[in-house]
């Protein structure tokens, strides 16, 4: 069994060894060996391979956006011209296209036909009486010239002739009126167009002023758009307009008329845009809300592809690369019109500035990029 002094010696040797190890560890952490060389610093890796473009100048159309309702150009209200007669047939329905003069409904004509037959007989009778009175008047004139008739007798015959002629004219007028009433038992279209409303019902009695049908004259529609008083000053009849259809298509129209007044409450005015017959085929219907644009002309524009412009926090930006550099700078720009895949830059960018053409959404301000020729970016 070892003695106590030997155990104490072993403890001291162990403590010295621990102290020496600690000194070596601290020296290595703070500076390392004097002969150690500093590690080489790696160059930053490019975030993206990009191509650069410059804004392109072009002549773009100036447009004015507006909203409004599609309405019938004109609507014809059709009713019965004779009253208290029963409708016997209704021949058209809503949406039917009709021609001018086409029969839309029929009214029972038995009573009117009987009245016409009676008035025709009265005309025949008065014609016979008028012929007899004329013969008697001619005979009276001859006999008076020969001295066989007194002036009074001759005058009576002439008066009877005139009275018979007047009765004949009255009978003919009654017959003409009955013929007109018989024609009015057929309700006809006053113009070609499309039936937009129908209240006529078989068996109902016609009433004065009662509407039976409503007709879109010629099937023509128009777009009644609202514009401000300031915008109204930029418009004139004849300007082309494009109206968006409900199915995504576009309908071409033309400004026909500018509203003569401005609404005192809204300070807006109406403009009337004629629509072609193809508007119905594109899905536009009377009473429908629609958006559109009126073309005001053309003006120069500085444009970029939409892939070069990013939107962040409600603002538009592009990434600018200095000539010969490899770092991008986020630059705020103002944008305007959009035509196809290009967008107008109205401010914040010079015409000769190079910007990242695509992939801008994957970059951040100050990123390093690898610039390649257009068409080689990946």
Decide which of 299, 328, 344 is a domain's last residue: 299
Examine residue 285 and state whether it is found in any structural domain, yes or no.
yes
Closest by CA to 175, choosing from 126, 119, 121, 130, is 119
Q: Which of 41-50, 70-79, 158-167, 313-322 has the lowest mean pLDDT?
A: 41-50
Q: Are residues 308 and 289 in the same domain?
A: no
> Over 60: is that where the pLDDT of 251 sits?
yes
- Mean residue pLDDT across the chain: 84
pLDDT at residue number 12? 66
Q: Are residues 316 and 280 in the same domain?
A: no
Examine residue 40 and state whether it is found in any structural domain, yes or no.
no
pLDDT at residue number 6? 59
Q: Are residues 293 and 341 in the same domain?
A: no
> Over 50: is that where the pLDDT of 174 sits?
yes
**Token pair 């995504």 is at which residue?**
248
Return the top range by mean pLDDT from 138-142, 153-157, 275-279: 275-279
Q: What mean pLDDT comes out for the span 342-370? A: 87
Closest by CA to 259, choosing from 66, 63, 75, 62, is 66
Q: Are residues 248 and 177 in the same domain?
A: no
pLDDT at residue number 22? 61
CA–CA separation, 254 and 63 (whole Å): 13
Model confidence, pTM: 0.61
In 40-101, where do the E strands start and end?
A: 48-53, 56-72, 75-79, 87-90, 97-98
pLDDT at residue number 47? 67
Task: Write the burial class of residue 232 (CB in 10 Å: 0-12 exposed, 13-18 middle, 19+ buried).
Answer: middle
Of 264 and 13, the structure prediction assigns the larger pLDDT to: 264
Closest by CA to 98, choosing from 192, 187, 198, is 192
pLDDT tens across 179-204, in order?
A: 999 999 999 999 999 999 999 999 99
> Over 90: is that where the pLDDT of 173 sits?
yes
Q: What mean pLDDT comes out for the span 235-249? A: 89
pLDDT at residue number 148? 66
pLDDT tens across 33-60, in order?
A: 444 444 444 556 776 788 888 899 988 8
Q: Are residues 342 and 368 in the same domain?
A: yes
Q: Are residues 103 and 153 in the same domain?
A: yes
Closest by CA to 79, choosing from 204, 220, 222, 221, is 204
Q: Are residues 91 and 179 in the same domain?
A: yes
Q: Are residues 194 and 92 in the same domain?
A: yes
Q: What is the CATH number of the domain that holds 345?
A: 2.40.420.20
Q: Give the confidence band of 247 by pLDDT, cuts at 50, 70, 90.
A: confident
pLDDT at residue number 315? 92
Q: Give the confidence band of 323 by pLDDT, cuts at 50, 70, 90.
A: confident
Q: Are residues 92 and 193 in the same domain?
A: yes
Please say whether the beta carbons of 78 and 187 come within 8 A: yes
pLDDT at residue number 1? 42
Q: Give the confidence band of 134 by pLDDT, cuts at 50, 70, 90.
A: confident
* Widest distance between CA atoms in the chain: 200
> Over 80: is that where the pLDDT of 149 sits?
no
Q: Give the confidence band of 21 by pLDDT, cuts at 50, 70, 90.
A: low
Contacts of 219 (CB under 8 A, 6+ apart): 97, 192, 193, 194, 277, 280
pLDDT at residue number 249? 80
CA–CA separation, 14 and 139 (whole Å): 175
Q: What mean pLDDT comes out for the span 121-149? A: 83
pLDDT at residue number 9? 62
> Over 80: is that where the pLDDT of 81 sits?
yes
**How many domains, the chain?**
3
Please say whether the beta carbons of 330 and 369 come within 8 A: no
Provide the residue range defining the domain that includes 352. Answer: 50-59+300-372
Q: Are residues 118 and 180 in the same domain?
A: yes
Examine residue 144 and state whether it is found in any structural domain, yes or no.
yes
């Amino acid at each position: 069994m070892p003695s106590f002094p030997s155990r104490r010696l072993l403890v001291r040797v162990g403590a010295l060894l621990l102290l020496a190890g600690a000194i070596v560890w601290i020296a290595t952490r703070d500076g390392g060996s004097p002969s150690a060389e500093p590690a080489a610093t790696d160059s930053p890796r490019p975030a993206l391979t990009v191509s650069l473009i410059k804004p392109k100048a072009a002549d773009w159309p100036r447009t004015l956006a507006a909203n409004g309702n599609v309405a019938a150009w004109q609507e014809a209200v059709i009713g019965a011209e004779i009253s208290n007669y029963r409708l016997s047939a209704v021949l058209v329905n809503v949406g039917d296209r009709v021609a001018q003069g086409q029969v839309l409904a029929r009214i029972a004509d038995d009573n009117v036909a009987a009245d016409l037959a009676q008035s025709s007989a009265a005309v025949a009778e008065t014609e016979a009486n008028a012929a007899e009175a004329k013969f008697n008047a001619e005979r009276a004139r001859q006999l008076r010239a020969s001295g066989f008739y007194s002036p009074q007798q001759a005058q009576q015959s002439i008066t009877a002739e005139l009275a018979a002629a007047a009765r004949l004219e009255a009978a003919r007028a009654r017959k003409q009126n009955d013929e007109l009433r018989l024609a009015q038992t057929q309700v006809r279209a006053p113009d070609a167009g499309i039936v937009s409303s129908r209240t006529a019902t078989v068996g109902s009695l016609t009433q004065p002023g009662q509407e039976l049908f409503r007709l879109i004259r010629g099937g023509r529609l128009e777009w009644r758009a609202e514009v401000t008083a300031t915008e109204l000053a930029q418009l004139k009849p004849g300007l082309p307009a494009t109206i968006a259809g409900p199915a995504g298509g576009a309908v071409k129209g033309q400004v026909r008329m500018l509203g003569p007044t401005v609404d005192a409450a809204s300070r807006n005015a109406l403009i009337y845009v004629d629509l072609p017959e193809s508007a119905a085929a594109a899905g536009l219907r009377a009473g429908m809300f629609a958006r559109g644009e009126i073309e005001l002309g053309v003006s120069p524009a500085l444009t970029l592809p939409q892939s070069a412009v990013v939107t962040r926090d409600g603002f538009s930006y592009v990434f600018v690369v200095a000539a010969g550099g490899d770092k991008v700078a986020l630059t705020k720009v103002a944008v305007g019109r959009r035509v196809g895949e290009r967008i107008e830059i109205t401010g914040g960018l010079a015409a000769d500035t190079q910007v990242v053409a695509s992939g801008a959404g994957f970059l951040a301000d100050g990123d390093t990029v690898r610039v390649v020729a257009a068409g080689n970016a990946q």
